[in-house]
A and B are shown apart, each in its own frame.
Chain A
């Protein structure tokens, strides 16, 4: 109920925008191959579902696989970084390098090198998504309350106990912040990489559908595929938010409602 009420303003804005769009297209008789009306896009979405639904599944698969890879590899790298400053200063610049290299520039190479189209897309999207996981988790594992660290020292906690009972819980809020960014990036990476791959004739995801629809001037289908990508992004964001609320179980400021913060 509360969630519904909080989401209401966003829905109202969306409805007003869509209605304005619809009114504009019908009033000025804009041809559908320039700008299709929202209702036409919806109709296309339903009619073309056999094609678009399959494409959505492919894009979702690549997105989730690459998000999984980014989380597993990113967390592993972060754990390695906090083991020693030396490892971090030796390898962190390369993590940054990975982050700042445009994926469209390296995707063609990866697509040539890796035979399996799905795998090559997953690699590209993982490269795009991994940096926030590495950076945030590393920061989190280091952000331990010094008083608690002293307490653990006084009770002669082992390295393992300190990691599991202190460092990991301290890192969770940071990790989930990184995860939220990474989930959006994984989707972007999956779509962008497929755009590059699509020109090479592989892939059947949403980006490929957009490309094809563009060649055929099937603008309503292009919009329908775009809407699916946008909806996926929003759902991913909400999903990660729910996951973070569940995991932080009402102890961390980020998941508390205003006015309920710690005193």
Chain B
């Protein structure tokens, strides 16, 4: 059963920029799909269309009925006037979940991202990476079934990033999450994904799709294994091939 169905969806912004040529993509339930590509290739555009925040210029983007969707934006996007706990609680407030149950979920989400000590802090008192973790906590508090993440770990140091990678995979297993993930990082794409969609720029488009071996357990050992290196190499080659095509087209 598919959770996201994208059929020939394309986007031309009102200023005439062709951000995305027609894309076909199906994301199955419980699948972890990553969009990988250089800056400006339309990753955020595609994710925004899936979230329903942006209408495709042509084609269709459908999310299956009954999905609880959460979005981690590329920027932390916290309310500066509200404390961290209140920022995390916001989606519950908006949907009318209150009381003890809400507080419990907020605490749990904060603990998951390691911010339980900063529940009463203001966003400006946090570092950029901590703000991003607060934003991740906010996306998890509604117990989503479909998680859209736009470079969520880009601002984090490597250790924290690896830890959150593992947390994300654990969460995905436990809650049978479907994840559509955006990253610049080849290594992160290999470590997290079942499937990587390789994109290219000028104009933004999908150029390749590479499956990652699902059978290997994700651990620090996987990060230095030969399988890991082989898939990373394939992704890198695909990215390079796409960019050299673009260079030829420009020349």
List residues of chain A with CB under 8 Å of any chain B CB: 145, 147-148, 150-157, 161, 165-166, 169, 172, 248-252, 256, 261-263
Q: Does B169 contact A (CB under 8 A)?
A: no
Q: Which of A145, A161, A172, A256 contacts B77 (CB 8 A)?
A: A145
Q: Please, could you name 7 A-B residue pairs with CB atoms under 8 Å apart, sorted by A?
A: A148-B77, A151-B71, A165-B90, A169-B79, A251-B122, A251-B124, A262-B123
Q: Which of A152, A154, A156, A262 contacts B80 (CB 8 A)?
A: A262
A239 to chain B, nearest CB (A): 22
With contacts A147-B77, A151-B71, A154-B71 known, what are 20 further pairs, Cβ within 8 A? A147-B75, A148-B79, A150-B77, A151-B91, A153-B53, A154-B69, A155-B90, A155-B95, A165-B94, A169-B81, A169-B82, A172-B81, A248-B81, A249-B81, A251-B123, A251-B124, A252-B81, A261-B124, A263-B124, A263-B127
Q: Chain A residues with Cβ under 8 A from B122's Cβ?
A: 250-251
B103 to chain A, nearest CB (A): 18
Q: Does B51 contact A (CB under 8 A)?
A: yes
State in angstroms the CA–CA spacing of A150 and B81 once bound together: 18
State in angstroms the CA–CA spacing of A172 and B128 once bound together: 24
Most buried by A among B75, B80, B128: B80
Q: Chain B residues with Cβ under 8 A from A251's Cβ?
A: 80-81, 122-124
State in angstroms the CA–CA spacing of A148 and B77 once bound together: 6
Which residue of chain A has its CB nearest to the CB of B148?
Answer: A154
The SS class assigned to the B binding surface is loop
Q: Does B118 contact A (CB under 8 A)?
A: no
Interface string of B47-69 (1 = CB under 8 A from A): 00001110000000000000001
Q: Does B73 contact A (CB under 8 A)?
A: yes
Q: Chain B residues with Cβ under 8 A from A155's Cβ?
A: 90-91, 94-95, 142
State in angstroms the CA–CA spacing of A257 and B81 once bound together: 17
Say whether, besides A161-B94, A263-B127, A151 and B77 are in contact (CB < 8 Å): yes
Q: Chain A residues with Cβ under 8 A from B128's Cβ?
A: 263
B51 near A154 with CB under 8 A, answer: yes
Q: Chain B residues with Cβ under 8 A from A166's Cβ?
A: 79
Q: Chain B residues with Cβ under 8 A from A151's Cβ?
A: 71, 73, 77, 90-91
